[in-house]
Amino acid sequence: MVMSEVPARRALEEIDKAARRLAAAGIESARLDAELLMAAAAGVTRAAVITGWIDLSPATLNNFETMIARREKREPIAYLLGRKEFYSLDFEVSPAVLIPRPESEIVVAAALEFIAAAPDARVLDIGTGSGAIAIAIAVNAARAHFTGVDISADAIAVASRNAEHHRVEDRVTLRRGDCFDILDGGPALGSFEVIVSNPPYLDDAEIAALEPEVRTFEPRVAISAGAGGLDILRRIAAGAPRHLAGDGELIVEVAAGQATKAAVAKLVEEAGLRVVSVINDFAGHPRVVRARRGRAGA
């Protein structure tokens, strides 16, 4: 049975109108967003929307209008869909967590490179949020064990569901904590072969210039790191030596270009660590710092 051309044409007309509204709101991916939101409203794939295999019921149209109105106000599409792809895996996201970015996949790749030589590694993820980094590593490192720490209980709940979804909950322990300080009343953190983090790293003064999707909707605690953007990085560097086992490694994401600043090198060195490599992101900006015990030149 071939679906009538009439609802197919109507769906395309609704998408066209919605795309114009989103474009007027300053959204560059207006057409794509409209198609994705129509698919979500109808409970079908984007391919079904494009080819016309869609039921334009009153409920579908009402859901679509509600989501378009929210996107028009620049609410991130990942929050509207409730999902975000990261490292080729599907993750639940909500306003309680930072939306995973492609740059953080560099952290995952670096950790997997380390774990290839230490498959039974214990891994600590500071500021785990949705759990995307820890879970992406866990899916690809079947013998490693993970602890994810986040200050937000709501974020921990999201990460827990993601761990269950990807069937790694038996190797991923989630704790409420502030960097290395545990707040959930359980045992203190031990030692780890790998410590990873995508911490808040924006200067407070930069927040006002961010796109509305980030400035207004993403959790401020996940992006803002005081004057200079180094408050959390400083705490992670200072605490890492006490929690790194043997020749363990700290792998941390920083702001574009921040990795080359003397301030970052200084805080790492003052903590008794040495930078072993800096990895560029896809735009060629220094983005991920890898550090081990021992000062530079050691």
How confident is the prediction along the chain (298 residues), in pLDDT tens digits per residue?
344 555 667 888 999 999 999 999 999 999 999 999 999 999 999 988 888 778 788 999 999 999 999 999 999 999 999 999 999 999 999 999 999 999 999 999 999 999 999 999 999 999 999 999 999 999 999 999 999 999 999 999 999 999 999 999 999 999 999 999 999 988 999 999 999 999 998 888 888 889 999 999 999 999 988 888 889 999 999 999 999 998 999 999 988 766 666 777 788 888 999 999 889 998 888 889 999 986 554 4
Which pTM value belongs to this model?
A: 0.92
Question: pLDDT value at position 18?
Answer: 97
List domains and CATH numbers for the chain: 5-73 (1.10.8), 94-293 (3.40.50.150)
The tokens for 244 are 């790194």
Between vectors from CA 198 to CA 218 and to CA 111, what angle results, nearest 5°? Answer: 145
Helices (H), the chain: 5-24, 30-42, 46-51, 58-72, 77-81, 105-115, 132-140, 153-165, 212, 231-243, 262-270
User: What does the pLDDT read at residue 2?
Assistant: 45
pLDDT at 206: 87
What is the Cα 237 distance to its own chain's centre?
Answer: 21
Residue partners of 11: CB distance under 8 A and separation at least 6: 38, 49, 52, 54, 56
Number of helical H runs and strand E runs in the chain: 11, 10
Asked whether the beta carbons of 242 and 180 are under 8 A apart, the reply is: yes
Q: What pLDDT shows up at residue 61?
A: 94
pLDDT at 26: 96
pLDDT at 6: 54
